[in-house]
Every structure is written in structure tokens, then in C-alpha cells.
């Protein structure tokens, strides 16, 4: 939090040793704050300048926004993220909520994040292993709007369930109907799809009760 509350003179601007992209600002001989180098340069801060507390606060906010944006881009470079994931990541890093929301708005404007496209990609990737119930739950947990989930999952048939069920049967010699149903339920498939594929593959199974029918 900024403790500087008056007008003063910038007496020194030093590059920080641990982070060469930031500078330390000294006013009237005392360290006041650290700033992103780009924000400091954009504000044209120079040794000898007079600066008010409000002016310095404005530069600090721009500095924090630059820092949060760079962190978010670095986080996105590892893997695509939803808005909620970006929000939580930056919040955990100690950024103010207002700065985080500005950062997310900037990321959206730059087309770095898009929850709709993220959900589409996520569904394509996960549908190779999981059913619609599980994928929907995971997307909801990631903060994707329910309306988006409903729209996209309507176009995501569970055609992969047969291949997944057959792989399970081949790798489990004692597989029966109950075990297969529990496995497919754990993968998040609908009961209609589960009952259909179990009936289809019944000749390959050891029997088992049909309590879930």
C-alpha cells in the first residue's frame, strides 16, 4: 500500500537487482515503491521531477496492470485457460481484484482468452476419454457459463463410449455388466448411453446383475 501522501521530488530511479524489468523509485531520498519499467517510462518519470501522491498512485496502477498482464500471458503460454482460472491465478499472486478484472478485459480484447472457444477445445479433447456429465461438471468448475456448456454439449454425442467400453473389457478379464457400468459412470457417461452400450456388448461380458437398468 502506498504510504506516500504528499508532493515530493524524485531523487533516484534504480533498476532492481532481482527483477531487471522493474525500477525502485526514491522520493526525497527515501524508497517509496517499485514500478514496472515500461510504466515508469510511459509516465516519463525522471530524477528531479516533482510528483504528487495521486500522480504516483496512477503510475503504480498502470505498473500493476502491466505486471498482471505479463503474468497472465505467461500462465496462458503453458496451456489455454478460462477466465475464472486466470482470475484465481492472479488473485493467488496477490493482485488487487480491480487490477485482475482490468487484466481479464485486456486479455479478452487481445483475444488471448475466450471461454466459448476454450470450452469447445476442452470438449474435443476430453470427449476421447470421458462422457458428457463429467465434461460438463469440469467446465462448470472452471467457470464456464451454463448456457455455453448446454449449447456445446448438445452437439457432443457420446459415440466414443463403445470404444472406451471395449478397451475396458479387453484389459479386465473379469469384466461384467456391473463393473462396466460403474466404470462408465465414473467416466461421466449418461445412463442411457451406458445401458445401451452394455446391452450391445453383453456377449463379451461375464454377466452380472442389471440393477441399473
pLDDT in tens, 55-79: 998 999 999 999 999 999 999 999 9
Q: How far apart are CA 128 and CA 123, in angstroms?
A: 9
**% of the chain surpassing 70 pLDDT:** 91
Which residue in this structure is represented by grid cell 491465478?
89
Please give the pLDDT value at position 157. Answer: 64
Do residues 65 and 24 lie in contact, with contact meaning Cβ atoms separated by under 8 Å?
A: no
Average pLDDT of the chain? 88
Confidence of residue 212 (pLDDT cuts 50, 70, 90): very low
Instruction: Provide the pLDDT for residue 73.
Output: 97
pLDDT, tens digit (0-9, with 9 covering 90-100), for 82-138 = 999 999 999 999 999 999 999 999 999 999 999 999 999 999 888 888 988 899 999
Determine the Cα–Cα distance for residues 199 and 193; give it in Å rounded to an integer.
10
Q: Is the dihedral of CA 115, 121, 126, 127 positive or negative?
A: positive
- Scored b (16 or more CB within 10 A) or e, 184-202 reads bbebbbeeebbbebbeebe
Give the helix ranges, DSSP H, for 93-130: 97-109, 115-126
Distance CA 123, CA 153 (A): 8
Q: How many CB atoms lie within 10 A of CB 2?
A: 10
Q: Cell 510511459 sits at which residue? A: 42
What distance in Å separates the CA atoms of residue 117 and residue 124, rounded to the nearest whole number? 11
Q: Lowest mean pLDDT of 21-25, 65-69, 205-209, name the range.
A: 205-209
Q: Which residues contact 129 (CB under 8 A, 6 or more apart)?
A: 160, 164, 187
Verdict on whether the full-model pTM lies above 0.85 = no
Q: Are 62 and 39 in contact (CB under 8 A)?
A: yes
Amino acid at each position: 500500500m502506498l504510504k506516500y501522501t504528499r508532493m515530493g521530488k524524485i531523487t533516484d530511479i534504480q533498476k532492481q537487482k532481482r527483477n531487471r524489468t522493474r525500477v525502485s523509485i526514491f522520493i526525497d531520498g527515501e524508497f517509496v515503491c517499485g514500478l514496472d519499467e515500461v510504466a515508469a517510462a510511459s509516465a516519463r518519470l525522471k530524477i528531479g521531477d516533482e510528483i504528487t501522491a495521486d500522480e504516483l498512485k496512477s503510475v503504480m496502477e498502470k505498473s500493476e496492470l502491466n505486471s498482471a498482464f505479463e503474468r497472465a500471458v505467461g500462465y496462458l503460454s503453458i496451456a489455454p485457460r478460462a477466465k475464472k482460472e486466470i482470475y484465481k491465478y492472479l488473485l493467488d499472486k496477490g493482485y488487487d481484484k480491480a487490477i485482475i478484472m482490468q487484466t481479464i478485459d485486456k486479455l479478452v480484447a487481445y483475444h488471448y482468452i475466450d471461454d466459448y472457444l476454450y470450452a469447445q477445445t476442452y470438449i474435443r479433447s476430453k470427449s476421447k476419454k470421458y462422457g458428457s456429465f463429467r465434461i460438463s461438471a469440469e467446465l462448470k468448475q472452471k467457470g464456464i457459463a451454463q448456457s455455453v456448456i448446454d449449447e456445446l454439449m448438445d452437439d457432443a454425442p457420446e459415440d466414443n463410449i463403445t470404444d472406451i467400453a471395449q478397451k475396458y473389457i479387453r484389459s479386465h478379464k473379469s469384466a461384467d455388466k456391473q463393473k462396466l457400468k460403474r466404470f462408465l459412470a465414473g467416466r461421466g457417461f449418461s445412463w442411457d448411453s451406458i445401458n445401451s452400450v452394455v446391452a450391445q456388448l453383453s456377449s463379451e461380458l461375464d454377466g452380472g446383475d442389471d440393477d441399473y437398468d
